[in-house]
Structure 1
Amino acid sequence: MANIFAFFVFGLSWILFAQFLSALLIVWVILRVYSHHLRSSNLVRRSTLLAELGHSHNTKRIVGFFHPYCNAGGGGERVLWTAIAAIQRTDPDVVSVVYSGDTEASKESIISKVKARFAITLDPVLLHFVFLQSRWLVEDSTWPRFTLLGQSIGSMYLAWESMTKLIPDLFIDTMGYAFTFHIVAQLGQIPIGAYVHYPTISTDMLARVKSRKQWHTNAGHISSSATLSRLKLIYYRLFMYYYVLSLRTASFVMVNSSWTKNHVDSILQYNDPLIDAIHMIPPLVGLKLFTSQNAPAAARIVYPPCDTREMSSFSLMPRQRIILSVAQFRPEKDHQAQLNAFHRLIELHPEYIQNSHNRVKLILVGGSRNDSDAKRLSELQKVAKDLGIDPYVEFVVNASYPTVLSWLSKASVGLSTMVDEHFGINIVEFMAAGVIPVAHASGGPLQDIIVPFNGERTGFHARTLDEFAGALHTVLSLPTEEELAMRWRARAWAVQRFSEEEFERGWNQSGWRTWALGSTSSR
């Protein structure tokens, strides 16, 4: 009897497994048919686009840039527009297409803003925008819970929308939406590249959840609960597993700093035996079968561009007693820590507000992208008022490029409190402008930017509130000769290492041209 039962179970298992394989085969066939349909109809869309841009022949190559917030005006957008401007100069047979969710803007207004914000001139004949209607799916406000998962699934839908409107010859994600790679690979069947500013998830994030450390990505009610922390750790391990599969789909990966490279390289080599074993069980095995395992050998560092030419012309001395912050009003930038550090500075050194000739101001220049940023900005203004420092704090929102330059030309100290800042273009801008930086002792500012030049300081690092206040006081009280020398060293290092020319050199050596000019799948 037992043998009969075992035989029955064995037979039923094989039947279920065969049904699973059949279902998987059907899904694969459907994907192939749908992909063929999209790529066939793409020939018409491609020809129509080139004709609209005034290109009478179809020999142009199309490089697609996935950047849903291309009109935001931050450091990531500078990377995007500098890359496209470089392509337009060196490869006039390439048309750049930006997949953007800025549906309220026009092509002309975006180009004008790029000119005003970054002093970058773009050729409209070699640039096209595919406007996406579903950007709300990647808004953090859309996903108050399971934000990483929700935004990643939302980005996959955006990638599908992108491919239905236009399939390029090469797809490059410049915002960090790696989960789009699966959709593009399956439907577009084209090579994929990535410029990673910051890994969506990292081993550091897993470690913080495991150690139950409260963070902006690990809320207090979770870190205080052992059960919730264990559940979140499982969630993060699963998410990391799929993020690894996503990055391995890319043909080449560029990163913006040593910190990001170390994390991305470790992610590409990441292995979770338990999660891997779980994915040997149907139907989860199907998720792995539909992903590429051809991981790039290693990420390549291409430091972001900084327009050091104009900034390096600013006079080093004298400078006004201004502490300057230049950062979008996003949670990870931790503007509240800046307010707290400034408040601590005043507590320890009240002379900075008591004497009119010695008075210090904190100026926070930043972009507000959406309602969440606007709400955060309002909360920061309330914090400044509650701390009693609002008379000495000014918020400058969505400033034009000339306005940002004006503040950089007269500030004394540049402040950045973000922990694990992946790079820090704002800090490079401080240094190029002759502003002495004070930044958190982590990430790019620690490893790549605020490093000794000719064996001497170019700025300061800090971790605690008192360390930030102490560093700010040190800069504000430097002897004139030492202050001038440090400003000069900071500028010399920034201009030498982080110019637009250096970025373009690294970008052109990344291999994008090989993949763009060698692909024929979407034509």
Structure 2
Amino acid sequence: MAFAITLLCLLLTGLLGIIIFTAYTNKLARHSAQARHAIIKNLGISTTSNPQFIGFFHPYCNAGGGGERVLWTAIAATQRAHPNCVSLVYTGDVDATKEQILAQVEARFNISLDPKSLHFVFLKRRRLVEDAAWPRFTLLGQSLGSMFLAWEALSQVIPDLYIDSMGYAFTFHVVAWITKGSIPMGAYIHYPTISTDMLARVKARKVGHTNRGDVAGSLVLSRGKMWYYRFLMYHYSLALSRPSFIMANSSWTKNHVDAILSHSDPVMNVMHFLSPLFILRLFATTFKSKKLHPDSASKKPEANIVYPPCDTREMAQFPLDERERIILSIAQFRPEKDHPAQLRAFAQLLADHPTYISGSSSVQLFLLGGARNTDDHARVQSLRDLAEKLEITPYVQFIVNASYPKMLRWLAMASIGLSTMVDEHFGINVVEFMAAGVIPVTHASGGPLHDIVVPLDGEATGFHARDPQSFANAMHTVLSMSKSEQRAMRTRARTWAVSAFAEQRFVEGWEAAWKGWVI
């Protein structure tokens, strides 16, 4: 009897919660309709044109990295092909105006956007998705924070199509709940939030960027983290099953996303089903995003590869000869880019070959990248400190937040392009190296290994390495090559990069992925 009463109370509580939430979402829908009307009026669009609103969730749209090039190229292509659409960008860049952001896009990427079909929805709580806000259980905290940020976004205006272009898959739950599954959702995935590789590292107790030494050295902590990762992987898989379409930026990312989509965990299934929140689970399932595409019902979710846009036209005009003995790194100053590995590899190169320190054979390392916030700037300072500790400061230069023209000048001069990120999802910077005639030396993993620095007609287009010594050896090999050998490799690298990763290919893939969902 007591069990029946308890169950009845739970059901009534759940029903009341559904009624209250439905009333709340209806209120948000009415507010959104008013907001859309105001946006149309502010942009100077005719109210009778009934434009479609495409929402891009990209909290760091002004960061200036490869992910932002994807965003702005996609919006520019949408503006050209579908002038009746309004692009909404949900961003946390509250310290910049619309005009300033568009100017930055043009300066950094040479992309001109039409302000008359573009509107920014500014989010005030972006800190909730930053590393600093979650010193422990960072991935879980950022995922929950992204859900709150998505609520803040849609409480201002609801689009006709929602696209997460930065990797916050857990926002799909919020969008589905708020809209009652009435709008299609899509994702462009640069890098999975959690992958089978990460689980494997924890299980093997291997130290890495996502597995600290103190955790890897403890059996108890490793087992605890394994359960934590299993929990995240299970729910990440649920989140990724919601979008109507998924784009992946490389074969490495696609393989991981497809594995995540087919991921199963019997233990987590039982725990999820027996959770006291099973009423909310049923509620969430009810509002799973509707499949609005005519052919979608019979298709199993699968990611399609759409390589990022690489505007190689100007770079492909750079001369291939008479390059300076410069080793160039182009990457945002983020932890996963592993800039310390670049400094250690360069220090190893100088230690192995002292003739590179001075004279006509001297070599310099230039680290060019964007810094988004105070954490990134602090990271640059720590890199300067490491360079001093390694006694290579006179031979290293840091160039922070360089403009697009300045980046091009360095690409036109450099001999070697250095990239040390492990499991780099794609690597636009590596494509830029190759198109510009800069011989790439990259980590032997991810996109640079499987998609980009691959043989052309059986001949190498660059080098791969795994540790400071092998990176130093590869750089020495390039520096020791004859001019004719260098030119031949630069030519092969450029030919492959320009043909395989042209911007038009991205535009075609992007258009094929989402067209038909709202237009």
Q: Match for 2:118 among 110, 122, 127?
A: 127
Q: Match for 2:303 among 299, 305, 309?
A: 299
Aligned to 1:288: 281
Structure 1 residue 357: deviation in Å?
Answer: 1.0
Q: Match for 1:276 among 245, 255, 269?
A: 269
Corresponding letter in the other structure for 2:30: S
Structure 1 unaligned residues grouped into runs of 5+: 1-10, 518-523
2:313 aligned counterpart, secondary structure: helix
Q: Could you tell me how far apart the structure 2 residues matched to 1:446 and 1:343 are? A: 24
Matched, 1:170 2:161: yes
Aligned to 1:207: 200
Aligned to 1:31: 21
CA contact (8 A) 2:31 2:156 kept: no
Matched, 1:257 2:250: yes
Which segment drifts farther, 11-20 or 138-147?
A: 11-20
Q: Could you tell me how far apart the structure 2 residues matched to 1:82 and 1:296 are? A: 28
Matched, 1:372 2:375: yes
Aligned to 1:515: 517
Matched, 1:40 2:30: yes
Structure 1 residue 240: deviation in Å?
Answer: 1.1
Aligned to 1:53: 43
Q: Could you tell me how far apart the structure 2 residues matched to 1:475 and 1:46 are? A: 56
Structure 2 unaligned residues grouped into runs of 5+: 292-298
Aligned to 2:106: 115
CA contact (8 A) 1:305 1:499 kept: yes
1:261-282 per-residue CA deviation (whole Å, 9 max, x = no partner) reads 0000010111100000111214
1:233-259 per-residue CA deviation (whole Å, 9 max, x = no partner) reads 111111111111111111110010000
Q: Could you tell me how far apart the structure 2 residues matched to 1:22 and 1:251 are? A: 33
Structure 1 residue 16: deviation in Å?
Answer: 2.2
Structure 1 residue 287: deviation in Å?
Answer: 4.7
Aligned to 1:351: 355
Corresponding letter in the other structure for 1:53: L
CA contact (8 A) 2:58 2:91 kept: yes
Q: Could you tell me how far apart the structure 1 residues matched to 2:424 and 2:308 are? A: 13
CA contact (8 A) 1:251 1:296 kept: no
Matched, 1:16 2:6: yes
Matched, 1:227 2:197: no
Structure 1 stretches of 4+ moved >6 Å = none
Q: Could you tell me how far apart the structure 1 residues matched to 2:383 and 2:369 are? A: 12
Structure 1 residue 229: deviation in Å?
Answer: 1.1
2:398 aligned counterpart, secondary structure: strand
2:365 aligned counterpart, secondary structure: strand
Corresponding letter in the other structure for 2:121: V
Matched, 1:447 2:450: yes
Corresponding letter in the other structure for 1:198: Y
CA contact (8 A) 1:252 1:296 kept: no
Q: Match for 1:74 among 65, 85, 88?
A: 65
Aligned to 1:236: 229
Q: Could you tell me how far apart the structure 1 residues matched to 2:54 and 2:271 are? A: 37
Q: Could you tell me how far apart the structure 2 residues matched to 1:180 and 1:502 are? A: 28
Matched, 1:91 2:82: yes
Corresponding letter in the other structure for 2:384: Q
Corresponding letter in the other structure for 2:460: R
1:51 aligned counterpart, secondary structure: helix
1:133-190 per-residue CA deviation (whole Å, 9 max, x = no partner) reads 1001111101111111111111111101111111010010000011111111111232
Aligned CA RMSD, in angstroms, stands at 1.2
Structure 1 residue 24: deviation in Å?
Answer: 2.3
Q: Match for 2:325 among 313, 321, 328?
A: 321
Structure 1 residue 362: deviation in Å?
Answer: 0.3
Aligned to 2:260: 267
Which segment drifts farther, 312-321 or 24-33?
A: 24-33
Percent identity of paired positions between Structure 1 and Structure 2? 58
Structure-2 change in CA distance of 1:296 and 1:88 (3 Å): farther
Aligned to 1:6: none
Q: Match for 1:248 among 224, 236, 241?
A: 241
Q: Could you tell me how far apart the structure 2 residues matched to 1:282 and 1:428 are? A: 47
Corresponding letter in the other structure for 2:59: P
2:235 aligned counterpart, secondary structure: helix
1:514 aligned counterpart, secondary structure: coil
Aligned to 1:198: 191
Equivalent residue runs for 1:466-477 within 5 Å: 466-477=469-480
Aligned to 1:7: none
Aligned to 1:460: 463
1:79-122 per-residue CA deviation (whole Å, 9 max, x = no partner) reads 00000000001000111010010000000010001000000000
Q: Could you tell me how far apart the structure 2 residues matched to 1:282 and 1:182 are? A: 18
Q: Could you tell me how far apart the structure 2 residues matched to 1:499 and 1:92 are? A: 23
Q: Could you tell me how far apart the structure 2 residues matched to 1:27 and 1:314 are? A: 63
Q: Could you tell me how far apart the structure 2 residues matched to 1:436 and 1:466 are? A: 18
CA contact (8 A) 2:31 2:157 kept: no
Matched, 1:159 2:161: no
CA contact (8 A) 1:95 1:126 kept: yes
CA contact (8 A) 2:55 2:87 kept: yes
Which segment drifts farther, 438-447 or 55-64?
A: 55-64
Structure-2 change in CA distance of 1:369 and 1:383 (3 Å): same
2:209 aligned counterpart, secondary structure: coil
CA contact (8 A) 1:20 1:282 kept: no
CA contact (8 A) 1:170 1:191 kept: yes
CA contact (8 A) 1:439 1:445 kept: yes
Which segment drifts farther, 469-478 or 277-286?
A: 277-286
Structure 1 residue 41: deviation in Å?
Answer: 2.1
TM-score, scaled to structure 1: 0.95
Q: Match for 2:178 among 167, 187, 190?
A: 187
Q: Could you tell me how far apart the structure 2 residues matched to 1:18 and 1:244 are? A: 32
Matched, 1:482 2:495: no
Structure 1 residue 36: deviation in Å?
Answer: 1.4
CA contact (8 A) 2:320 2:487 kept: yes
1:38-94 per-residue CA deviation (whole Å, 9 max, x = no partner) reads 112211111110010001225100000000000000000000000000000100011
Q: Could you tell me how far apart the structure 1 residues matched to 2:230 and 2:2 are? A: 32
Q: Could you tell me how far apart the structure 2 residues matched to 1:402 and 1:113 are? A: 12
2:90 aligned counterpart, secondary structure: strand
